[in-house]
Amino acid sequence: MGSGRTGTLAAALLALTLMGCTATAPPSVSSGPAASPTPSGLPTGVRYRELTERLGDGEPVRLYVLDIAPDARVRVTGLHGSDLAGSETVRSMAASAGAIAAVNGTYYDISTGRDYAGYEGDPLGLYVENGRVLSEALPGRPALLLGEDAGRLTARVADTSTTGTVRAADGAHRELDGVDRVAGRVPDEIVSFTEEWGADAPSEPFGSTEVLLAADGTVLGTRTPAGGPLPRGGSSLYGIGGGATWLRAHARKGEHIAVSTRLTGAPARGTVDTALGGSAWLVRDGALDQDVARLGTGREPRTAAGVTADGTLLLVAIDGRAKGVSAGATPTEAGRLLLSLGAVDALNLDGGGSTTVVVDGELRNSPRSTDNGPVTERRVADGIAILPK
């Protein structure tokens, strides 16, 4: 699911894509018929299940659940396609990474969105991979944080934010407003394009300025207006309005510019190697989040992530849009589902036609972009992968 990349859109996206919840009875979870034989030979500490629920009104819903224990001999990480500017199917990304299993991840700037900016692989909201912030957080959104502590998987759901800074050699500094996205969310800003962007920086009208940086932050040159190839192995700082004025005043060829983006608000325990922003809390501190009932009443396919009391990570795909087979879930129903699976904290990731789960190279669920439409693997921005350790 997705739309354009503006502050107003952030609220609209939440309202449109999380069409919400009714106070139905808690779902009962029972073993359901698997679409194909359940994969065997998964690493110790990793379990895969396919279940059928009956919702409060008797409608069936199909669930696909991956449980990853803290001591599982695997690495759980974010993954994207060949570049951040483009999109790929979850199965393609999983195959390229050699993943045991994978699900889709964050919302992104889908081409059918109202304010599409031209780059369908562009994550909307927080995305951290290998400890590097590749897309900044949206205000008020929770995130799934993944890392390690003494060799064990740490998985948490937390309210987080990002803080970026640009510091020139002359001592001047200012806020970095964004990472790997089209500039223009506000009239005066600087956006960093990293090597992972993988495409030319967008062309902008007269007055914009882009500073090209080597891998060590040395200024290689400046172009006005902005737009064009990024330096091999390097990055750029892309300014519009007051941001462009600041770059022209303080970036000098051959001098060094320090660019930093930090994740703030995350719990201190362990490292954070991967972070994926969701749209809303479903479960918090062992109960339905108090705001989940405000998110609407529509049943949709959903992807969710949760953490149990013992630190087990739950990755859950909920099929929908298949009348009589799998109805989808409201946010309240999804939250109750995660509670029934043992989650004490959980968040909603991208859903709708993006909801995908792949195990051992096989598509396990039935993603649909329309009600009773054909099963189609949608190209998405990123995912969560389980890799051999």
Residue 33 pLDDT > 70, yes or no?
no
Backbone angles phi, psi at 279, to 5 degrees: -100, -25
Give the side-chain half-sphere CA count within 13 A for 337.
33
Q: How confident is the model at residue 223 (pLDDT cuts 50, 70, 90)?
A: very high
Task: State pTM to two decimals.
Answer: 0.89
Would you call 380 helix, strand, or coil by DSSP? strand
| Mean pLDDT score of the chain | 90
Most confident of 14-28, 91-105, 108-122: 91-105
- Torsion, Cα 356 357 360 364, to 10 degrees, reads -90
Task: Give the whole-angstrom CA distance, residue 340 versus residue 385.
Answer: 24
Give tens-digit pLDDT for 332-380: 999 999 999 999 999 999 999 999 999 999 999 999 999 999 999 999 9
Nearest to 337 by CA among 107, 27, 13: 27
**DSSP state for residue 196 in the 8-state scheme:** G
Find out whether the peptide bond into 225 is cis, omega within 30 degrees of 0: yes
pLDDT for residue 41: 84
Q: How far apart are CA 275 and CA 132, in angstroms?
A: 9
- Report yes or no: 102 and 384 within 8 Å, Cβ to Cβ: yes
pLDDT at residue 11 is higher than 50: no
The larger pLDDT score, comparing residue 178 to residue 21, is at 178
Looking up tokens 């951290």, which residue turns up? 128
- DSSP label at residue 265: S
Q: Quick check: 22 pLDDT over 50?
A: no
Residues 158 and 206: beta-carbon distance below 8 Å: no
| Continuous segment of H or E residues that includes residue 334 | helix 331-340
Number of C-beta neighbours around residue 24 at 10 A:
16
Measured CA to CA in angstroms, residue 174 lies from 5, 30, 126, 260 at distances of 22, 55, 21, 11
Lowest mean pLDDT among 11-15, 26-30, 133-137, 223-227: 11-15
The pLDDT-based confidence of 9 (bands split at 50, 70, 90) is very low
135-144 confidence digits (pLDDT tens):
999 999 999 9
Residues 269-309: tens digit of each pLDDT: 678 999 999 999 999 999 999 999 888 889 999 999 999 99
Give the tens place of pLDDT for each residue, 74-90.
999 999 999 999 999 99
Q: Which domains, ranges and CATH numbers included, belong to the chain?
A: 7-160+271-329+337-388 (no CATH), 163-262 (2.60.120)
Give the DSSP letter of residue 297: -
CA distance 352 to 9: 18
**Residue 3: pLDDT over 60:** no
